[in-house]
């Protein structure tokens, strides 16, 4: 009889503990939900999913994340991925209307110039052990501008603060605005257009483009 009572008592305590665990879990879930609505996770941009410019925003954001946030041990791999986001000459056949020779030459010159810039940056990063972080305030919106030439779109990223360090030495912070120009290419009628970068400019917030 005593053994039966002991088992009942043990079962009761177990059920109470389970209920406490479930109650605590429920409260935690509710608290996290409320916190997320009041304090959303930091995001680079506040752009709704249905925004037609989202694809351009994502490509611009990816490029800048790869090239403006780096460490000596990650820079080379990131820069290689960044290069793959750029326009390249074989894509010209998928452009409608087709790019005239002059415009194609200009795009190729910008692409080559940017690759040379990345190569120079990489050498400096590795030689000096330089790191960089780009901070952008949560909630700042970026500007999307449609250009008249060949369906190009320019994204002006929100003003950021570039923090650089060389070894253990912290350098002075610099404000920067990134302008990323892109162009859509559609390989065939069944596929969604792909977006590729054709130009990148970095300016001080007070400096005109």
pLDDT score, position 94:
64
Annotated domain spans of the chain: 1-39, 54-203
pLDDT score, position 47:
37
Tokens linked to 77: 């791999």
- φ and ψ at 185, to 5 degrees? -130, 130
Is residue 43 packed enough to be buried (19+ CB in 10 Å), middle (13-18) or exposed (0-12)? exposed
CATH architecture entry for 54-203 = Roll (3.10)
Rounded Cα–Cα distance for residues 149 and 100 (Å): 11
pLDDT score, position 25:
46
pLDDT beneath 70, residues of the chain = 1-52, 92-98, 137-141
Provide the whole-model pTM: 0.70
Dihedral class, residue 139 (left if φ above 0, else alpha if ψ from -120 to 50, else beta): left
Task: Decide: helix, strand or coil at residue 98.
Answer: coil
pLDDT score, position 36:
39
């Amino acid at each position: 009889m005593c053994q039966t009572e002991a088992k009942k008592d043990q079962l009761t305590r177990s059920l109470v503990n389970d209920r406490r665990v479930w109650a605590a879990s429920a409260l935690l879930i509710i608290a996290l939900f409320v916190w997320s609505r009041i304090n959303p996770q930091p995001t680079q941009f506040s752009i709704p999913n249905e925004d037609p410019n989202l694809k351009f925003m994502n490509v611009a954001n990816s490029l800048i994340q790869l090239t403006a946030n780096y460490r000596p041990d990650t820079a080379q791999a990131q820069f290689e991925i960044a290069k793959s986001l750029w326009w390249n000459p074989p894509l010209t056949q998928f452009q409608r209307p087709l790019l005239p020779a002059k415009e194609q030459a200009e795009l190729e010159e910008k692409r080559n110039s940017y690759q040379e810039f990345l190569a120079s940056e990489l050498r400096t990063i590795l030689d000096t052990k330089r790191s960089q972080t780009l901070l952008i305030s949560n909630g700042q919106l970026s500007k999307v501008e449609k250009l008249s030439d060949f369906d190009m779109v320019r994204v002006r990223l929100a003003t950021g603060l570039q923090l650089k360090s060389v070894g253990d030495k912290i350098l002075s912070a610099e404000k920067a605005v990134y302008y990323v120009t892109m162009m859509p290419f559609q390989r065939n009628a069944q596929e969604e257009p792909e977006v590729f970068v054709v130009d990148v400019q970095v300016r001080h917030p007070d400096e005109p483009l």
